[in-house]
Structure 1
Amino acid sequence: MTALDKILYTGKTHTVGGREGRARSDDGQLDIALSPPGSGRPGTNPEQLFAAGWSACFEGAMTLAARKLRIPFPKNAAVDAEVDLGMIGEGYLLQARLTVSLPGLGPEQAQMIVDEAHRTCPYSKATRGNIGVELRIGN
């Protein structure tokens, strides 16, 4: 593990019961039931949580990218994340798609922001070379 020069924040959770359990953060802000995908049981699953975290982080990275590139960032920007849980042979794997909406920007400006955000977003860095990732620019 690479040592960080400075830790900005540490998210801490305690999970009991895996995909059929419960996850709680140490500060009480997250307290959520977990359930397997497609089970119909109350709760969310790790793939949804990962999609929510990545999309939120990616939008933040786009905001910083737009500032760096001196492109006005649309107030109604959005990121739709899809995280697939699948298998190759006997092994479980993830793949993901991020669809970005940057209303009011031309395709070239939007692409510049998305490319820069993908270079700097911590979630993008963590997944780079580890899972299949597709970036799309939508409306």
Structure 2
Amino acid sequence: MSNVIFTSKATAKNGRDGHVKSDDGLIDLNLVNPAKDKDEKGSNPEQLFAATYASCFDGALNLVASNQDKKIDSETTAEVSFCKDEEDGGFKIAATLNVSIKGVSQEEADKLVKDAHKVCPYSKATQGNIDVTLNAKAV
């Protein structure tokens, strides 16, 4: 195992129709399966993953830009989809990262996003496991 910097912990009970809570209580959410119940209020694993992937990727993007002496202002929106897996009949997820970057050309934005995808811990974790689409937009 790598040199651990910190560890976060959360506990889920009753899966997609249950509850998730972090050990510090900051996350304390009812979970609802939107494929089954569109009227019930609550979060779901894909929404939580979208939030974490977007924040991690945007951080990686800003690190990459800083290392290349580029001053940017960025915003990353992650779309995480729950999909039917045609290969095994089960389920899988896919992600699209929509990244807006101020302060660079479109060509630079494309390169920064590709470079960030190589260093983002979430991108590393998903590499070869889920389909990830990268959309960079210089604004």
After TM superposition, the score normalised by the length of structure 2 is: 0.91
Is 1:105 the equivalent of 2:107?
A: no
Q: Could you give the per-residue CA deviations for residues 17-75 of structure 1, whole angstroms, max 9, x where no partner exists?
A: 1111110111111111100024221111000100110000000001100011111122x
Query: What secondary structure sits across from 1:82 in the alignment?
Result: strand
CA contact (8 A) 1:71 1:109 kept: no
1:26 match: 23
The one-letter code sitting in structure 1 at the alignment partner of 2:69 is R
Instruction: Structure 2: give runs of 5+ residues left out of the alignment.
Output: none
How far apart, CA to CA, are the structure 2 residues paired with 1:71 and 1:104?
8
**Cα distance in 1 between the residues matched to 2:71 and 2:61:** 11
TM-score (norm 1): 0.91
Amino acid at match of 2:96: R
Residue 12 of structure 1, aligned match among 2, 9, 13: 9
- Structure 1 residue 104: deviation in Å? 3.1
Amino acid at match of 1:27: D
Matches of 1:63 and 1:129 in 2, distance apart? 24
1:112 deviates by: 2.1
Partners of 2:20 and 2:85 in 1: CA distance: 28
Taking the aligned partners of 2:110 and 2:67, their CA distance within structure 1 comes to 14
The answer on whether the counterparts of 2:72 and 2:103 sit within 8 Å (CA) in structure 1 is: no
**Equivalent residue pairs, number:** 134
Structure 1: runs of 5 or more not aligned = none
Whether contact under 8 Å (2:47, 2:80) holds in the other structure is yes
- Tell me which of 27, 33, 36 is aligned to 2:33: 36
More divergent stretch after superposition (119-128 vs 83-92): 83-92
Identity %: 40
Q: CA RMSD in A?
A: 1.2
The answer for the alignment partner of 1:63 in structure 2 is 62
How far apart, CA to CA, are the structure 2 residues paired with 1:7 and 1:28?
22
**Aligned: 1:86 with 2:92:** no
Give 2:59's aligned amino acid: G
Cα distance, 1:11 vs structure 2: 1.2
